[in-house]
Structure 1
């Protein structure tokens, strides 16, 4: 099992157990120790992972941090643990003080679900108040997994991580700021656009008027980008010749689509239906794992673009009744009639059950 699979397995574990662990010790055993183990460290070897690491601080003796990861006989990463569900506030920890007395370069504050990674970008040997990496393990994305991989024992390089931490910190802060501005544009943000497109004075009334315009414009712009990417994916599907095998449990063979005339037309209704199902399944898997292949007789939705992992089918080609194809654990299809795309939401439970079947198979292997 590669590192990405280990983190995804841990993600599923955390999602299931986060509400079941109610003490700090339970959080450590159920969620945090498996995370440390996923990073390649032997949690039972005190030469690699030291629990209750003692760091004497000035006149305070016997100060302890929950875990210290050791490299070349020196602590290099401190981990302070909180109970699952507990709010993470670095000011309520002892991590700041440890940076003054040890050679550790990184600190992790976690409740087993949310993780905050710190270093000393602002002042040497003084932990920054803001983390350079923050993520929720139950919603971890591929780009975050790549950053986590740098902390794996096999790839750990203090200088490389530290040099990348500054860019990562500001990238995350800018993304957060952009997200905030898109949802609720600030006055300063709105005034920037006013200065670019409006010749009059930016009075209070004008700012109020443009706040709605800016928000609407951003929404349209984002939707256009999504639409372009979706169309690009369609074009790629049509330009590639796929060699497919029949789906187990069905008699039909998923037809490949190429740039040649083959009578396949992907409708806007099929695109929208695909996005609805993709949104439902994102509760369980990354959106990029949900793919589609259109055929003459149905619009197939697959896990990992694998025709042996059918998730659903949209059978919208008939002139009268439209059907949604659902799959059970044996990959047998059941066709249910739907009157509108909104009816797809009625089968959320069945769709999630299908994805669970494949995820359990992955877990078993």
Structure 2
């Protein structure tokens, strides 16, 4: 654990410096020099030695081509890691094809890195030998590292990529496990949101219901399966999170009654619980899921506010309880006012403003992640 702690401290220091100077890195060359080389050095590669880190290595099937990879990390005289560099703020996903071509051209390369100096994407060839995978198996975000600790699983992966530990076969095994795990999580989240006919049929067959028509599954049972997922998985997890938070901080969120005569109603508490549960269902990644734990509420005379981290800057919406069964939700623009008797009508603006607040205020250190749920 000492090595991981030291690596985290080094990378966090680089992250803090990089986020200060990145606005002065106005082209690819300055990005390489001031933002990317320090990270290469942090992984133990001596970028002052051309026998270790070779710049502008030819990388093309064609003889005499001028196509070159920005940096190649060498091992026994052959390139094993290809690093493609882009200017700060570049759209990295749109640049992956270029790195993929270098990956294939350099037959000895086993790891590809695509970076703009702030975001570092790491690729291997799990799906097809010598063909770079379409998605990175690990990503290092230096901007996020200035707001919250670099996750342990990311540090463990980076430690395996360091000069003292780099073994291509071990890295490929790790990448395969991480990619499959990520794809399984994405699949399960998608099935929870919109259960497929195949999953519905399988679950219903386990209940003894056979020979079901597809139309019957779609119109009658699909919503039941989706609700069952939410009741069996999402709600218990959020209850566990809420209990854990209450034990850690008995005063958060706001107390239900105050000296000003403001009493938090059952309906307002139900809205708060729904928001937490629904965001757990709508969250697209671990960062969003963990950030749910930072939601709080504040009750006022005539309205009830739900916010993330900060009551003003982190406001998600104001809730005004209706007397006729229709409640009003007031979101910051462009969300606006929504008057409804169906809570699911707020899903889209709720998730949008929640995602925006995380970007603006940062994600706090996770309390519990999906991977920890089953621990």
TM-score, normalised on structure 2? Answer: 0.57
- Alpha-carbon distance between aligned partners in 1 of 2:66 and 2:132, rounded to the nearest angstrom: 24
1:111 aligns with 2:111: no
- Alpha-carbon distance between aligned partners in 1 of 2:186 and 2:180, rounded to the nearest angstrom: 10
**Residue in structure 2 matching 1:342, options 306, 313, 337:** 306
- Alpha-carbon distance between aligned partners in 1 of 2:12 and 2:221, rounded to the nearest angstrom: 43
Map of 1:362 onto structure 2: none
The structural deviation recorded for 1:97 is 4.4
CA contact (8 A) 1:68 1:75 kept: yes
1:68 aligns with 2:80: no
Map of 1:42 onto structure 2: 46
Map of 2:63 onto structure 1: 59
CA contact (8 A) 2:59 2:105 kept: no
CA contact (8 A) 1:24 1:81 kept: yes
Map of 2:9 onto structure 1: 5
- Alpha-carbon distance between aligned partners in 1 of 2:241 and 2:234, rounded to the nearest angstrom: 11
The structural deviation recorded for 1:3 is 0.7
The structural deviation recorded for 1:218 is 2.6
1:222 aligns with 2:234: yes
- Alpha-carbon distance between aligned partners in 2 of 1:217 and 1:12, rounded to the nearest angstrom: 45
Map of 2:186 onto structure 1: 176
- Alpha-carbon distance between aligned partners in 2 of 1:79 and 1:31, rounded to the nearest angstrom: 13
SS at match of 1:212: helix
**Residue in structure 2 matching 1:143, options 140, 148, 153:** 153
- Alpha-carbon distance between aligned partners in 2 of 1:30 and 1:231, rounded to the nearest angstrom: 45
- Using a 3 Å threshold, how does the CA distance of structure 1 residues 343 and 115 change in structure 2: closer, same or farther? closer
- Using a 3 Å threshold, how does the CA distance of structure 1 residues 120 and 179 change in structure 2: closer, same or farther? same
Map of 2:93 onto structure 1: 88
RMSD of aligned residue pairs (Cα, Å): 4.7
Greater length-normalized contact order (CA 8 Å, ≥ 6 residues apart): 2
The structural deviation recorded for 1:132 is 5.2
CA contact (8 A) 2:201 2:217 kept: no
The structural deviation recorded for 1:208 is 3.6
Q: What number of residue pairs does the alignment pair up?
A: 281
Matches within 5 A, 1:162-173: 162-173=172-183
Gaps of 5+ in 2: 145-149, 257-268, 280-286, 315-357, 366-375
- Using a 3 Å threshold, how does the CA distance of structure 1 residues 54 and 14 change in structure 2: closer, same or farther? same
TM-score, normalised on structure 1? Answer: 0.58
**Residue in structure 2 matching 1:206, options 209, 213, 217:** 217
CA contact (8 A) 2:70 2:83 kept: yes
Gaps of 5+ in 1: 238-263, 280-285, 293-300, 302-313, 315-321, 324-338, 360-365
- Using a 3 Å threshold, how does the CA distance of structure 1 residues 167 and 265 change in structure 2: closer, same or farther? closer
